[in-house]
């Protein structure tokens, strides 16, 4: 069937911290061997947010030696998602920045609300995307445009994301704030055996 993994760190805009990465790794590991799973949808349970990227408050408290370990763990977790043996869909009903967009890029298919905001914004912080974005974005939209978006840290909406091929489907947001999730479910149902 369809498995939905929902991010829910509302107080931190679903920012990726050590604990959330640990939970995501555990969930992804369980999915790898579950033969009943046909599709995995990654979504947010927090209105208006998909994932704000790395938890910069937690990161600021880390010793410099911990930072590289954290980035490696984030990269490994996102790579494990990308390597799941079933189709994966990111339902982007809100903001997906930095590691949040990298998480979405690791999915096979991306669906977003037209109002969703997306970008690899790390260069504004004098760092580079560390969880695969520098590889996955060019493969998705082409090298030149990917470089422009990464160098400028530009944030784009769902309509522009669709026009450049970053996402497969763009939908108008609904009152419930889950239009992308609903479209993702419809797409996932197409993958189920009839």
Per-residue pLDDT of the chain (194 residues; tens, 9 = 90+): 999 999 999 999 999 999 999 999 999 999 999 999 999 999 999 999 999 999 988 988 999 889 889 989 999 999 999 999 999 999 999 999 999 999 999 999 999 999 999 999 999 888 888 888 999 999 999 999 999 999 999 999 999 999 999 999 999 999 999 999 999 999 999 999 88
According to the model, what pLDDT value does residue 170 have? 99
According to the model, what pLDDT value does residue 65 have? 85
> At the topology level of CATH, where does 2-190 sit?
2-enoyl-CoA Hydratase; Chain A, domain 1 (3.90.226)
Contact criterion met (CB below 8 Å) for 74 and 95: no
List the catalytic residue out of 15, 52, 54, 106.
54
With CA atoms as reference, report the closest residue to 69 among 54, 81, 57. 54
Is there a catalytic annotation at residue 99? yes
According to the model, what pLDDT value does residue 182 have? 98
According to the model, what pLDDT value does residue 125 have? 84
List the catalytic residue out of 94, 122, 133, 180.
122
Reduced to 3 states (helix: H, G, I; strand: E, B; else coil), residue 71 is: helix
According to the model, what pLDDT value does residue 59 have? 85
Is there a catalytic annotation at residue 102? yes
Is there a catalytic annotation at residue 58? no
Q: What is the pTM of this model?
A: 0.95
According to the model, what pLDDT value does residue 193 have? 86
Distance CA 48, CA 41 (A): 17
Distance CA 150, CA 22 (A): 27
List the catalytic residue out of 53, 94, 98, 99.
99
According to the model, what pLDDT value does residue 13 have? 96
Distance CA 120, CA 52 (A): 10
List the catalytic residue out of 15, 96, 102, 188.
102
Structure tokens at 139: 């493969």
Is there a catalytic annotation at residue 148? no
């Amino acid at each position: 069937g369809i498995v939905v993994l929902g991010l829910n760190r509302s107080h931190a805009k679903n920012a990726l911290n050590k604990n959330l990465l640990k939970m995501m790794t555990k969930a992804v590991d369980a999915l790898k061997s579950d033969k009943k799973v046909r599709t995995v949808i990654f979504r947010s349970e927090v209105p208006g947010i998909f994932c704000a990227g790395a938890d910069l408050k937690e990161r600021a408290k880390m010793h410099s030696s911990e930072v590289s370990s954290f980035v490696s763990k984030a990269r490994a977790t996102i790579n494990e998602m990308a390597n799941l043996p079933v189709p994966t869909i990111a339902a982007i009903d809100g903001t997906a920045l930095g590691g949040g967009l990298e998480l979405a890029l690791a999915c096979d298919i991306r669906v977003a609300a037209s109002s969703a905001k997306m970008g690899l914004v790390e260069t504004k912080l004098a760092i580079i995307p560390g969880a695969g974005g520098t590889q996955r974005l060019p493969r998705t939209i082409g090298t030149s445009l990917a470089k422009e978006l990464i160098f400028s840290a530009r944030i784009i909406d769902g309509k522009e994301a669709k026009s450049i091929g970053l996402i497969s489907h763009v939908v108008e947001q609904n009152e419930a704030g889950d239009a992308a999730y609903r479209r993702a479910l419809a797409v996932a149902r197409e993958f189920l055996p009839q």
